[in-house]
Amino acid sequence: MENSAVGEVRILVPAGMLGAGFEESTVERGLELGADVIAVDGGSTDSGPSYLGSATPKTTKAAVARDLRILLRAADRAGIPLIVGSCGTSGVDAGVDWVAEIVAEIMAEEGLGLKVARIYSEQSAADLKEHLDAGRIHPLPPLGELDVETIESCTHIVGVMGHEPFVEAIEAGAQVVLAGRATDTAVAAAFPLMKGMPAGPTWHVSKIVECGGQATTNPRAGGVFATIDATGFTIEPLDPAAACTPISVAAHMLYETANPFELREPDGTLDVRNATYVALDDRTVRVEGSEFHLADQMTIKLEGARITGYETMSFTAIRDPLILGKIDEWAQLLREVLTDRVAQTLGLRADEYDFDIRLYGHNAVLGDIEPGGAPPREVGVMLLVNAADQATARAIAKVGNPLMLHLPTLEMDYLPSLAFATSPAEIDRGAAYEFVLNHVVDVESPTALFRIELEESHV
Amino acid sequence: MSESTPTLGDLALEVRSKNAGPFWVTMELFMRDADGYRIAADETFLNESVIAGLYRVDAADIQMFRIPSLNVVKISFPRPISQGSLRDRDMHAGQHHVPLALLRVPEKSA
């Protein structure tokens, strides 16, 4: 692929997430508009630590394959690169390989011979301990300094790459780049930056397009199309019926970011304080004035997850107004009686396991910050147990079973029977995880922590 | 504040909350117009200590951003309960805007 200077670069982002689905016609439209690259995010930490901790994807294979088939055909026909970041949700090495296998199957079926690069982002505890000892790892708020025990406790750790490994892969001849964990923005930013587009507009537009249709007036409409040039960028939805407005575009800079004006990337910080948003017509917006400040020190952010224990869930429901009127007292009684019964039957102290009782319909979602309201019509009671192993978690939930079925309030002199939702009532959830890393590593090179493997085409 | 005044949600196009990475939660009040924005952006009404009370977090950890060009007030703070842990009942923190949206505005502003 030639790396000659160009005046503008047009990026096609078909959806906010690979596997989310989109109309094939919107990709056709993006090609007609002259797309130079197709970029799509394949992952996120948003859905919790389990996907990283267990190295399993959130999306189902059929949904990923459906989207990839359309995108691979489009990239092949137009002769433009396809870039996928954070493969397999968490971006672990197994996630990259999972997407690469799907790509290989589709290419074999479709007779395509595109050259595929895999970029791995998983980090070994041994390497990170060296960085830690050398003082190169620093915490991001709200976490504190990292210690060796925390590194060693993680089941998987990934480094979050910027655009540089993507650029290296494309310059080496890759037509399809399947990357491990990457910043949401790097996926879209890589090709324009490689083509010499200015960093301010490129990173800004990459933030705006990272969730696909979120930046439009119809978030369900799918993808967006953006053109970057020397002084700014222009953005429109791929669906002709949807619109980008100055407000919808500006507002997306707020989405999922703690700070609405700045966004840190490995090599610097996007600053949109001076950006201006102008409607070119009723569905296209022009943005200028975005800035990017190179950092004195390049950093790579780390994400890591570890097992907190094993969980079993049990769920029952209450409709009787006599119990609903005293629901908080009833839940407190359940806590006390369950703790006593676990001590009697299993010989476990309260600090040897943990459980949460959630009153869905009453205050399960907000807990003690619930502003309150009328007494509920019915309440779903979830018992979630966490213990050191699955058998213990299940045993505790089973000890809770007669209570979840029959526990009366203090006023009742008879046993009510509550409404179990399923039989058996207990559901083993397997290992539960938590995120424990929110740290950066100082690096000399933005590609040093990542490994690029370029495959020869198979056709 | 009184039961007779509107809530921030009444004066907003949208009030939303979302995780910002695994360790932060962020919320936005998209106010309908400049008048609504003036109320939401009034530091004597909506400030770090009010948010600290609504969400039981430390006022010193709260970041507030007032963006008049969008009629937006944005609020970010570290998640009190870590994402995905046993007591996390809202993985994406997507329902945590409700206490903010239900906050009634002062008499004089309404």
Average pLDDT, chain A: 95
Residues of A in contact with B18 (CB under 8 A): 255-256
Whole-angstrom Cα distance, residue A154 to residue A142?
A: 19
The DSSP 8-state label assigned to residue A351 in this structure reads G
pLDDT digits (tens, 9 = 90+) for B8-34: 999 999 999 999 999 999 999 999 999
What is the structure's pLDDT at A375?
A: 83
> Nearest CA of chain A to the CA of B108: how many Å?
23
Q: What is the DSSP string of B37-97?
A: HHHHT-TTTS-HHHHHHHHT--GGG-EEEEEGGGTEEEEEEE-SS-TTSTT---TT-TTTT
Whether A368 has its CB under 8 Å from any CB of chain B: the answer is: yes
Answer yes or no: do B89 and A365 touch at CB < 8 A. yes
Of chain A, the percentage scoring pLDDT greater than 90 comes to: 92
Whether A276 has its CB under 8 Å from any CB of chain B: the answer is: no
What is the structure's pLDDT at A394?
A: 98
Sheet holding B63-67, edge to edge: B12-19, B24-31, B72-78, B63-67
What is the structure's pLDDT at B108?
A: 77
The shortest CB-CB distance from A386 to any of B28, B74, B86 is to: B86
The shortest CB-CB distance from B63 to any of A46, A47, A258 is to: A258
What is the structure's pLDDT at A58?
A: 97
Of chain B, the percentage scoring pLDDT greater than 70 comes to: 96
Residues of A in contact with B74 (CB under 8 A): 254, 260
Buried b (16+ CB within 10 A) or exposed e, B91-100: ebbeebbbbb
Question: Does residue A429 register a pLDDT over 80?
Answer: yes
Whole-angstrom Cα distance, residue A215 to residue A234?
A: 13
Closest residue in chain B to residue A382, using alpha carbons only: B89
Whole-angstrom Cα distance, residue B52 to residue B58?
A: 6
Name A199's Cβ contacts closer than 8 Å, sequence gap at least 6.
A193, A268, A292, A294
Answer yes or no: do A434 and B82 touch at CB < 8 A. yes
| H/E stretch holding A304 | strand A299-318
Neighbours of A329 (CB within 10 A): 13
- Report which of A167, A168, A210 is spatially closest to residue A188, judged by C-alpha positions: A210
Question: Does residue A5 register a pLDDT over 70?
Answer: no
Whether A435 has its CB under 8 Å from any CB of chain B: the answer is: yes
A373 vs B11: which has the higher pLDDT:
B11
The pLDDT of B62-85, averaged and rounded, is 95
Whole-angstrom Cα distance, residue A99 to residue A84?
A: 9
Sheet holding A8-13, edge to edge: A276-279, A285-288, A232-237, A224-229, A8-13, A37-43, A82-89, A176-179, A116-120, A451-454
- Report which of B27, B17, B79 is spatially closest to residue A435, judged by C-alpha positions: B79
The pLDDT of A31-50, averaged and rounded, is 96
Pairing of strands A224-229, A232-237: antiparallel
Answer yes or no: do A365 and B18 touch at CB < 8 A. no
Neighbours of B16 (CB within 10 A): 18
Exposed, middle or buried by CB within 10 Å (0-12, 13-18, 19+), for A35? buried
Q: Determine which of B83, B91, B92, B100 to mutate to test the interface with A (most A C-beta atoms within 10 Å).
A: B83
Q: Determine which of B16, B51, B63, B70 to mutate to test the interface with A (most A C-beta atoms within 10 Å).
A: B70
Peptide bond into A139 cis (omega under 30): no
Whether A81 has its CB under 8 Å from any CB of chain B: the answer is: no
The DSSP 8-state label assigned to residue A442 in this structure reads E
Q: What is the DSSP string of B7-53?
A: BTTTTEEEEEEEESSTTEEEEEEEESSHHHHHHHT-TTTS-HHHHHH
Residues of A in contact with B87 (CB under 8 A): 356, 367
**Residue A103: both structure tokens together:** 């790509």
- Report which of A60, A70, A164 is spatially closest to residue A110, judged by C-alpha positions: A70
What is the structure's pLDDT at B2?
A: 56
Of chain A, the percentage scoring pLDDT greater than 70 comes to: 98
> Nearest CA of chain B to the CA of A442: how many Å?
20
Question: Which residue's entry shows tokens 């978030």?
Answer: A219
- Report which of B41, B43, B40, B26 is spatially closest to residue B77, judged by C-alpha positions: B26
- How many Cβ pairs within 8 Å bridge chains A and B? 106
Question: Does residue A2 register a pLDDT over 70?
Answer: no
Neighbours of A384 (CB within 10 A): 21
The pLDDT of A291-308, averaged and rounded, is 98
Q: Say what the ipTM of the complex is.
A: 0.92
The shortest CB-CB distance from A369 to any of B26, B69, B99 is to: B99
Whole-angstrom Cα distance, residue B103 to residue B2?
A: 10
Instruction: Please give the backbone phi and psi of residue A297, each rounded to the nearest 5 degrees, phi first.
Output: -130, 120
Q: What angle do CA A262, B69, B104 make, to 5 degrees?
A: 100
Question: Does residue A140 register a pLDDT over 90?
Answer: yes
Task: Name the band, by pLDDT with cuts 50, 70 and 90, for residue A319.
Answer: very high
Name A273's Cβ contacts closer than 8 Å, sequence gap at least 6.
A261, A291
Indicate yes or no: pTM above 0.90.
yes
Whole-angstrom Cα distance, residue B99 to residue B38?
A: 20
Question: Does residue B109 register a pLDDT over 80?
Answer: no
Name A42's Cβ contacts closer than 8 Å, sequence gap at least 6.
A17, A18, A19, A59, A64, A84, A85, A86, A87, A88, A89, A91, A95, A99
What is the structure's pLDDT at A219?
A: 76
Task: Name the band, by pLDDT with cuts 50, 70 and 90, for residue A1.
Answer: very low
Query: In chain B, which residues touch A (CB < 8 A)?
Result: 18-24, 26, 28, 30, 54-56, 61, 63, 65, 67, 69-70, 72, 74, 76, 78, 82-92, 95-96, 98-99, 102
Closest residue in chain A to residue B64, using alpha carbons only: A259
Neighbours of A322 (CB within 10 A): 13
Q: Determine which of A46, A47, A272, A356 to mutate to test the interface with B (most B C-beta atoms within 10 Å).
A: A46
Answer yes or no: do A254 and B92 touch at CB < 8 A. no
Name A336's Cβ contacts closer than 8 Å, sequence gap at least 6.
none
The pLDDT of A402-430, averaged and rounded, is 97
The pLDDT of A66-85, averaged and rounded, is 98
Answer yes or no: do A142 and B67 touch at CB < 8 A. no
Q: Determine which of A154, A211, A217, A254 to mutate to test the interface with B (most B C-beta atoms within 10 Å).
A: A254
Whole-angstrom Cα distance, residue A305 to residue A432?
A: 10
Residues of B in contact with A354 (CB under 8 A): 86
Neighbours of A148 (CB within 10 A): 12
CA dihedral A406, A407, A412, A416 (to 10 degrees): -20
Question: For residue A303, how many C-alpha atoms fall within 13 Å in the half-sphere facing its CB?
Answer: 31
Question: Does residue A383 register a pLDDT over 50?
Answer: yes
Average pLDDT, chain B: 94
Contact A300, A440 (CB under 8 A): yes
| H/E stretch holding A9 | strand A8-13
